[in-house]
Amino acid sequence: MQTVRNTGDANDRGDASEFWPGRYAGQSALIVGGTGGIGAAAARRLAAEGASVGILDLNGDAAQTLAQELSDRGYTALGYALDATDPAQVARVFDDFETRMGKIDVLVNMAGLYSHIEFSAMTLDVWRKYIAINLDITFVTTHDVLPRMIARGYGRISTVSSASIALGLTEYAGYIAGKSGVIGLTRVLARLGGGHNVTANTIMPGLIETSVSKASYGSHWASVAEQTAAMQSVPRIGGPEDIADGIAWICSRQARHITGQVLNIDGGLHFTD
C-alpha cells in the first residue's frame, strides 16, 4: 500500500489526512448530499482514491461546481440536482449515473437537516420535514440502489448518523429521531444484502467543524467546541476529512466482513459495546 500525505485540505486537524491511491480504481460512488462539508470531503477522498463519483444535492449548481473541480484535477465526476425525497427523481438520476459509469458500487447518504428547535415549539409539519430529510431520504435512496447492488453481487452502503442521538438534546428532537432511525434501517439493509456481498454500515460523527455546525451554534461555537474537545479522549474537534477517512475505509473492499455496524468517529467522546 502506498500512503500519500494529503496536505491540501484546509480542515485537517492534527496529522494530515492520508489516502490510498487506486483503492477505488474501477469503482463508482454516489454521494447524496455531496456538497456540504463532510459530503464534499467524502467526494474528494473517494475521487482521489480512484472512484468515479456522482455528487447529488438539492443545490445542483453546487454539485456541478464540485464535480467540475474534481474533473479539473483529473478525476471522473458528475454533478446532479436532486430532491432525494422524490423516488422518481432518484430513479432517474441513479439510472443516468449507472448508464454513464456502468454500475453503482458505493452509496453514501450524507443528507441531513440540523438546526435548533425546542421540542415544545416543534409542530407536526416541522417534525415531518426533519424526518423526511434525515430518515426518508435514506429509505428512498437505498430502496432504489439495493436491488441494483444485489443483482451485481457487490455493493457498499454508508449512511451518516450523529453522535447527538446519545445525548437526547431537547432542541434537536427531529434531527435525533431521524438519525436514530437510519441506524435501524441500516441493520435491515445489512441483513438483506449480506448474502450478496452488499454491506451496509452507519458512520456516527461527533462534533465536526463545518460551516453548518458553526452557523448552528453561532456565537456559542467556540465555547461549545472547547467544552466538547475537553471531554473527548482525543482533545480536538474533528474536521470533515476525519469522517471522509472513515467512509473511505468502511466502503472499501477491505471492509468486506463488516456490516450492520455503527462506526463512531468522535474523538472518543462516547464508547459503545
Query: pLDDT tens digit string along 162-208?
Result: 888 888 888 889 999 999 999 999 999 999 999 999 999 999 998 88
Q: Specify if 153 maps to a domain.
A: yes
Range of the domain at 177: 21-265
Of the candidates 247, 118, 108, 214, which has an alpha carbon nearest to the alpha carbon of residue 175? 118
The Cα-based distances of 84 to 141, 235, 267 in angstroms read 7, 36, 31
Q: Specify if 70 maps to a domain.
A: yes
Q: Specify if 270 maps to a domain.
A: no
CA 65/CA 55 separation, integer angstroms:
10
In sequence order, the 6+-apart residues with CB closer than 8 A to the CB of 14 are 236
When divided into structural domains, the chain yields a total of 1
Q: Specify if 176 maps to a domain.
A: yes
The pLDDT tens digits along the chain (273 residues) read 333 333 334 344 434 456 788 899 999 999 999 998 999 999 999 999 999 999 999 999 999 999 999 999 999 999 999 999 999 999 999 999 999 999 999 999 999 887 788 899 999 999 999 999 999 999 999 999 999 999 999 999 999 998 888 888 888 899 999 999 999 999 999 999 999 999 999 999 988 888 888 887 788 888 888 888 888 888 898 899 999 999 999 999 999 999 999 999 988 888 775
Q: Specify if 167 maps to a domain.
A: yes
Q: Specify if 166 maps to a domain.
A: yes
CA 126/CA 147 separation, integer angstroms:
32
Angle at 220 between CA 216 and CA 221, to 5 degrees: 65
pLDDT tens profile 28-43: 999 999 998 999 999 9
Q: Specify if 78 maps to a domain.
A: yes
pTM over 0.85: yes
Check 114, 130, 172, 175 and give the catalytic one: 175
Q: Specify if 16 maps to a domain.
A: no
CA 43/CA 31 separation, integer angstroms:
7
CATH for 192: 3.40.50.720
- The question of whether 154 is a catalytic residue gets the answer no
